Chain A
Amino acid sequence: MALTGLFLSLFLVIHLLGNFQLLLPEEQAKEQYNLYSNLLSNNPIIKLIAYVLYATILLHTIDAINLTIKAKKANGLSYVKDNRNRASKWYARQMMLLGTVVFAFLVIHFKDFWYPYKFGELPMDDNGNKDLYTLVMISFQELWYVILYAVAILGLGFHLLHGFFSAFRSLGVYHPKYNRIIKSVGVAFAVSMSIGYLIIPFYIYFNF
């Protein structure tokens, strides 16, 4: 769970950096983003990493389902009065729910961008690259779609808020000093990823 989670977190950084190209001036963004997408989808190393990524998503999901089943089995009858929630943060207890939100979002995200790019018919831009840029721009013209993204990214943000430090804990980092540092880095990471990923749909919605 920890290793797959951290690998996926690393992917989040790379994916965000790549997508920041969407914020460039229109002409430059279109040319650069389509070229970047073309390079990624045709590079054999990236292809290999992509397969590792798909496998990681699956492993992370299977692990999460296993943990949930194990917890369900380990818990007895429910309490008539249950105030156990006072002892922990809601997002720490709801990792499965937040993960499900992220997973549902991933299905939509893959269907809307990954599938058309890989298997669909996309028009070409002036440089002969598939025009993913225009598809992205059109998609984010719809307010409901932007809101859907915002909800999913907030879900991801809270998932990271617990997941990042929890991963290191699960790997056995027990020194109090490093734990304090990791917790702070985790908060900074969750907040910066959320803001970073939220900027893109809102920027496109309000500027195009």
Chain B
Amino acid sequence: MKIHLKIWRQKNQHTKGEMQDYTLTEVDEEMSFLEMLDMLNLELAKKGECPVEFDHDCREGICGQCGVMINGIAHGPLKNTTTCQLHMRSFKDGDTIYIEPFKVKSFPVIRDLKVDRSGLDEIIAAGGYVSVNTGQAPEANSILVSHEEAESAFDAAACIGCGACVATCKNASAALFTGAKIAQFARLPQGKKESAERTLSMVERMEELSFGHCTNTEACQVECPQDISVLTIAEMIYEYNKAKLKK
């Protein structure tokens, strides 16, 4: 396959970026999207040019590291799929593909397609955990959790924190990410105890960082690789209001 690429190149956070054109002639349709970028980087390295920087780690769709805008869509044309799980068979011979980083204020570009998503980590650090006493492992059946509860908590916990929701949202809101992280704990007895403090501090941290406000366009769920439900956002608001009233 012959593929034309238009890729955002930017030296660092302080310089201006621009699109640059590349053409690959030997792309195999069985290649993953990232393998195609590897191929480009190999060619660039051979020519003595600077390779295109992009984030990646597991390449199995579970780590949340990869994530770029492909033809103007977070993670590319396939719904509920990470960039690494996208394959070149989703494109046609002769196609031009636009590849850009997530362009959100809260995700400054480090270089090329690589962005700094530590804003999401800051939200987690504000309360996205459960406090436990260390020591011997507790008796497994001392806290009973129904299958439905466990499954629903896991649905929210499936969020891989890739940031596609923020990049897709017209308001650049991190509500789906924060909602999922709050819901995954709020749905389990172990997480309920600290739910009020957790929700207040995570939501307040999210508001302090330069994310926008959710207006329920529901675009985030459509492009989310894990299909996290937008109802977790409403659940976050419910938990937040409850915590505010109790305070």
CB pair B104–A84 under 8 Å, yes or no, is: no
CA distance A172 to B241 in the complex (A): 8
25 contacting pairs across A/B (C-beta < 8 A): A67-B212, A67-B213, A70-B213, A71-B171, A73-B210, A74-B210, A76-B172, A77-B17, A80-B6, A80-B19, A84-B73, A84-B167, A84-B223, A87-B168, A88-B170, A169-B234, A169-B237, A170-B234, A172-B234, A172-B240, A173-B234, A174-B235, A175-B231, A179-B231, A179-B234
**Interface locus among A41-49, A89-97, A134-142, A193-201:** A89-97
CA distance A59 to B137 in the complex (A): 53
CB pair A92–B218 under 8 Å, yes or no, is: yes
CB pair A174–B217 under 8 Å, yes or no, is: no
What total of chain B residues lie within 8 Å of the partner, measured CB to CB? 46
Q: Which of B202-246 contact A (CB under 8 A)?
A: 210-220, 222-223, 230-235, 237-241
CB pair A79–B103 under 8 Å, yes or no, is: yes
CB pair A87–B234 under 8 Å, yes or no, is: no
* Given A75-B170, A79-B72, A176-B231: 13 more A-B contacts, CB < 8 Å: A73-B212, A75-B172, A79-B100, A80-B98, A81-B72, A83-B72, A83-B73, A84-B168, A86-B73, A88-B170, A92-B217, A171-B237, A172-B237
Closest to B237 in A: A172
Minimum CB–CB distance for B229 against chain A, Å = 8
Q: Is residue B85 contacting chain A, with contact meaning CB distance below 8 A? A: no
CB pair A174–B72 under 8 Å, yes or no, is: no
CB pair A73–B105 under 8 Å, yes or no, is: yes
Which of A67, A78, A89, A175 is in CB contact (< 8 Å) with B171? A67
CA distance A84 to B171 in the complex (A): 12
Which of A74, A88, A95 is in CB contact (< 8 Å) with B211? A74
B100: chain A residues within 8 A (beta carbon): 79-81
Q: Is residue B71 contacting chain A, with contact meaning CB distance below 8 A? A: yes
Q: Which of B68-113 contact A (CB under 8 A)?
A: 69, 71-74, 98, 100, 103-107
A121: chain B residues within 8 A (beta carbon): none
Q: Is residue A159 contacting chain B, with contact meaning CB distance below 8 A? A: no
Given known A-B contacts A70-B213, A75-B105, A93-B217, A84 and B241 have beta carbons under 8 A apart: no
Given known A-B contacts A76-B103, A81-B98, A84-B73, A172 and B238 have beta carbons under 8 A apart: yes
Minimum CB–CB distance for B60 against chain A, Å = 24
**Which B residues are within 8 Å of any A CB, using their own CB?**
6, 8, 17, 19, 69, 71-74, 98, 100, 103-107, 167-168, 170-173, 210-220, 222-223, 230-235, 237-241
CB pair A80–B8 under 8 Å, yes or no, is: yes
Minimum CB–CB distance for A66 against chain B, Å = 8
B168: chain A residues within 8 A (beta carbon): 84, 87
Closest to A176 in B: B231
Given known A-B contacts A76-B107, A87-B222, A176-B231, A93 and B237 have beta carbons under 8 A apart: no
A: interface residue count bin? 20 to 34
CA distance A173 to B8 in the complex (A): 41
B73: chain A residues within 8 A (beta carbon): 83-84, 86-87
B233: chain A residues within 8 A (beta carbon): 169
A82: chain B residues within 8 A (beta carbon): 72
CB pair B222–A88 under 8 Å, yes or no, is: yes
Closest to B107 in A: A76
CB pair A93–B170 under 8 Å, yes or no, is: yes
B222: chain A residues within 8 A (beta carbon): 86-88
Q: Is residue A162 contacting chain B, with contact meaning CB distance below 8 A? A: yes
CA distance A162 to B107 in the complex (A): 29
